[in-house]
Structure 1
């Protein structure tokens, strides 16, 4: 069975994207994306997002002020943080592990960069740039056990996000940083998605794939590499590993919830996976690619499932068997029959981003996401969730960064039936968030709001990707095809 991410599948994704235009509401990308480059900043935060955060904090608006207080209280956000770059970073048993140095510096760079945009204090931007420049000047490799792939994926997407916030700083060494991303981080993540460390494709759990996918996508966007972005998006949809959406979320139930595969493993890794898939969807959205709504909002159903389960609710679980082992080597299997036990007090800064997308951008009901996001607020970041690596798996600060007003033109949340779904896609020109203009979607005409919400979800007030990354001018081409089809239908009707 081949794992090659083929050119044919990438072109197929582009063709499907073109065919999707005209179904529902097509939302235009930014002029930069249409011209062949990506919008910057455009990973987890756009310029509009950063402006919103600054304005809300300046106005003393809640809950932004509480989110900003979490940021300023974190020691990593202090200007003057001294970087400690390494030539080789090691992660994994049996090696001289020093990867904590990397993730602490990465989070310090990100937090200082974010703090600069909110406060306007240039000292924080200077600190972030100094950290990033120090690492790009010294780092040459990531080594270790299989865990080196986790280091590449997690810290690769994170360091790209930190750099994206200061890429226009006059002292930032952009070219050298891009060389580090493409020469040190992304090759490991690319290779993992292709070969899975020489193991059978299901040997590694969902979060391994998702970490690698986030790194590949973030690198592609940061470096304006359309082929890299197309590979990541295609893997999300069609990848053979457990991180692709239909493997990560294998079963959809009639109640509108969908099983998250790693719920059968443990709570911590399941939360990590949901956070990573949300991160992947958000970065894609900010470049005009709607994966949040892909396959009838399958991710919404999976995130709702994990939110309910993580708060102690009962969820259905389908027994499954996972093959393990090396190709042409040892082999085995593992059968999981039920969802793992949970600690409802466990917190991870993953929920604000996901809940705000579905309930505010799309106007959908998502009661479990709403509840767990409120329970987790205000979200902190690296350093607020324990001293070990698990506490640094997400960049965090979602209360500050992703709280948004409900987009105009979306449903009010009182209805979850087909009538509500027509307005579930982001509305072009929405006054509360300009990002739907840069993060286009093509709305599924009826099913999304009703099936994704589920019968047991209280009102809180198949989408596909438009392939801006795969080709330029798809909208014009698809629009022309649609016009020709309409004219042909009219001609035949008149005969």
Structure 2
């Protein structure tokens, strides 16, 4: 039986900005990091491999396809329900969009591709998604529509641009507002919305939207699996909802991998630990938990990655794979047996990612490359086609280090890795380089921060807009000491004194909803109503490149929009928590921002 633990720490993710800069000796080699199409869950290579395995009768794809063919969503005569605003019909039609695309991919019968286009045509007239659970519906349906559209758009010669335009005009109005918003329900809801956000970013070929989805994934991985032993946050609610949340993360991580980001490896393979934890609870029929049964949420997908690609042993997940095979389509997740089951057996991964972390012009940079499948030491060399950005060097053991001297942009270069126990592999990498944010031209010399206090708390986040305050004044640092009520909101504002150019990392821990802004940019977003989502605050950070000098800093804290007693009973360490931390260049850990770095200009 599993021992239940309390949370610990670590991780990282990113997002952000491009400003103009004077001329440099070296300029970017490509406009942006390219996106792979098709690339939502399945790439062209993976679609071809799936079709080949089915045609050759290779298991488990053959049996999984035989089952799918009998599903009504796979019918050649499938017709979308004209009452598509109704919940059950809408979800079924979205699923059919993906299923019909898979049928087209395997059979190459045009009727299936046309069915996908017909579904998109039918939904182009949708005005809005309604109902109490509309945000969840959008999260569940969006990824299905995007998967089907992405697959057919990039493989069917008769794709209709006019259908795409009409459907995406509807989608931008009815779906995108929810996908761009942090809804109040966390864990499985926001995991599903993040999955649809990433699928949408890939279909739209939108790198900024993709970066936002990666950022969100970095938040919701520790939110759903906050403990190092893999214990899910929704464990005590019930197993089914815990599976749904982690299942959405798995689908999203697979998309990210197709686009060169290794989210599977984050937090020391936390997704593997989460699925192993659930696998043991389900396989042993642990009667402490409600709804303890397996759902088709991607057991095959996660096992294919960690076991076949990465060589990890996952005994409990292996048991669940045998239980659910062939894995069906549960709401917005899986068909895992068909699309990934044993797909990478005898195809171990060599390179896990090719998008490198953001670098900043004028700042130091360090990143360690990894090559898998070698038992001997690996040697790295740079190919001659394109050079590293000026100021960076590659060591023979895979360390990319230096001080960036190149202009902002995206740099493309090819590196070769080899060892005595493994064949040489040449990989094309992409490194985004951005400008440091300039310091503000202000003369703020008074130490501390300005605060604005109000009661009751906010119903919704005001962002950086002004609001009617009950009291204002100065405070030495971020503190709840100015609060006089159980339900209140505080905004702290001032300037952060940065002593050196470089990449800074920020963490924010509060017992309540909060958002941290630097130079009017949202840097850390913990505006979560579900209090369980905040227990993992020190497992997520956000990086920002800053020039030396003073930078505007704003923190909004919203207290009282949740059941505090439930939080304290389960996580007493969260009581009155308010930690604003940074990691400065040249250091390895986060520490509280000192009072000496905060300056009060009065009200902005």
Q: TM-score range by the shorter chain?
A: 0.5 to 0.7
Paired position in structure 2 for 1:26 = none
Q: Is the 8 A contact 2:262 2:353 kept in 1?
A: no
Q: Is the 8 A contact 1:109 1:128 kept in 2?
A: yes
| Aligned equivalent of 2:151, options 165, 171, 191 | 165
Larger RCO, structure (CA 8 Å, separation 6 or more): 1
C-alpha displacement at 1:38, in angstroms? 1.5
Paired position in structure 2 for 1:179 = 169
Distance 1:281 1:485 in 2: 25
Paired position in structure 2 for 1:464 = none
Distance 2:390 2:43 in 1: 27
Q: Which runs of 4+ in 1 moved over 4 A?
A: 405-410, 436-446, 483-488
Paired position in structure 1 for 2:258 = 286
Paired position in structure 2 for 1:264 = 236
Q: Is the 8 A contact 1:288 1:438 kept in 2?
A: yes
Distance 1:409 1:79 in 2: 34
Paired position in structure 2 for 1:79 = 76
Q: What's the RMSD between the two structures over aligned residues?
A: 3.4
C-alpha displacement at 1:186, in angstroms? 2.1
Paired position in structure 1 for 2:142 = 156
C-alpha displacement at 1:285, in angstroms? 0.8
Distance 1:486 1:38 in 2: 26
Paired position in structure 2 for 1:340 = 289
| Aligned equivalent of 1:368, options 282, 301, 316 | 316
Distance 1:50 1:68 in 2: 13
Mapping of 1:384-403 within 5 angstroms?
Answer: 391-394=330-333, 396-403=334-341
Higher helix share: 1
| Aligned equivalent of 1:106, options 76, 94, 99 | 94
C-alpha displacement at 1:106, in angstroms? 1.3
Secondary structure of the 1:142 match is: coil
Distance 2:391 2:55 in 1: 43
Q: Which one has the largest radius of gyration?
A: 2
C-alpha displacement at 1:368, in angstroms? 1.2
Which ranges in structure 2 are unaligned for 5 or more consecutive residues?
Answer: 1-12, 19-28, 358-366, 374-385, 404-604
C-alpha displacement at 1:228, in angstroms? 1.1
Paired position in structure 1 for 2:121 = 133
C-alpha displacement at 1:476, in angstroms? 3.7
Which ranges in structure 1 are unaligned for 5 or more consecutive residues?
Answer: 1-7, 14-30, 90-97, 198-203, 315-337, 382-390, 411-425, 429-435, 450-473, 489-495
Paired position in structure 2 for 1:480 = 392
Paired position in structure 1 for 2:206 = 225
Q: Is the 8 A contact 1:181 1:219 kept in 2?
A: no
Aligned pairs, how many?
Answer: 354
Mapping of 1:341-356 within 5 angstroms?
Answer: 341-344=290-293, 346-356=294-304
Higher strand share: 2
Q: Is the 8 A contact 2:39 2:258 kept in 1?
A: yes
| Aligned equivalent of 2:193, options 209, 212, 225 | 212
Secondary structure of the 1:182 match is: helix
C-alpha displacement at 1:180, in angstroms? 3.0
After superposition, give the CA deviation of every residue in 1:415-470 in whole Å (9 maximum; x if it has no partner). Answer: xxxxxxxxxxx315xxxxxxx68789998879x99xxxxxxxxxxxxxxxxxxxxx
Distance 2:51 2:355 in 1: 21
After superposition, give the CA deviation of every residue in 1:319-343 in whole Å (9 maximum; x if it has no partner). Answer: xxxxxxxxxxxxxxxxxxx962454
TM-score normalised by L of structure 1: 0.64
Q: Is the 8 A contact 1:185 1:215 kept in 2?
A: no
Paired position in structure 1 for 2:36 = 39
Distance 1:139 1:398 in 2: 30
C-alpha displacement at 1:120, in angstroms? 1.7
